[in-house]
Amino acid sequence: MVRIGFCVTVTGDTEYSGCILILANAQPAVKTDTTSAYETVRIPEINADALAYFGASVFWRAAARNWHIQRQHIMATNLGVEYQEQLRRFLLGLSGFPRLAVMIVMVSQSPEPVLAAMFPIVFRQDGYFHHRFHIPGIGFHLFLGRQIPERFTRLCLVHSPQRLIYSSGTIDDLVLRNMAGLIPG
């Protein structure tokens, strides 16, 4: 059994619990056809600080060195010198979460999410950078830059007063599409 302190339990018997079950019993603050937003300040079972720390640590570690499997470079992500240092200081407890960073956490609505992980990747979008990675049932999105739309800050797990987290029926589709893109030919 693997237990990640913020809200996930996965066992070899394909038992899955955690954020999905916690959110299934919670009242969303906002709900659309595909996505629900939850205020973690109202859900004591979800440790928003631990989620933010975990996500930031994976993004920082991915950028802090070159990663190889069997001498093949498998990941190239770059946070930029300024943001990498800000995240390092945050992880060491020397400063708060970077002001020009937004973390959005999406949880699968599926009771049996895709049991796959995706290394951190980055995209440039309209003057800012969108980093993301997935672990089974949870997607982490980190937006960095001076041109992040203001509305993103209101959606942030760290910066929003409600400490928002989201559930979506589309997260597993995104993971499967990304995995399909890795298959040669």
**Angstrom distance (rounded) from CA 22 to CA 103:** 20
73 pLDDT above the threshold of 80 = no
Q: What is the pLDDT of residue 16?
A: 44
13 pLDDT above the threshold of 80 = no
15 pLDDT above the threshold of 80 = no
pTM of the model: 0.82
Do residues 59 and 87 touch, judged by C-beta distance below 8 A? yes
**Angstrom distance (rounded) from CA 179 to CA 185:** 13
Q: What is the pLDDT of residue 158?
A: 95
pLDDT greater at residue 124 or residue 181: 124
**Angstrom distance (rounded) from CA 110 to CA 107:** 9
What DSSP line would sit under 73-137, residue for residue?
EEE-----HHHHHHHHHHHTTSS-S-TTEEEEEEEE--SS-----EEEEEEEETTEEEEEEEETT
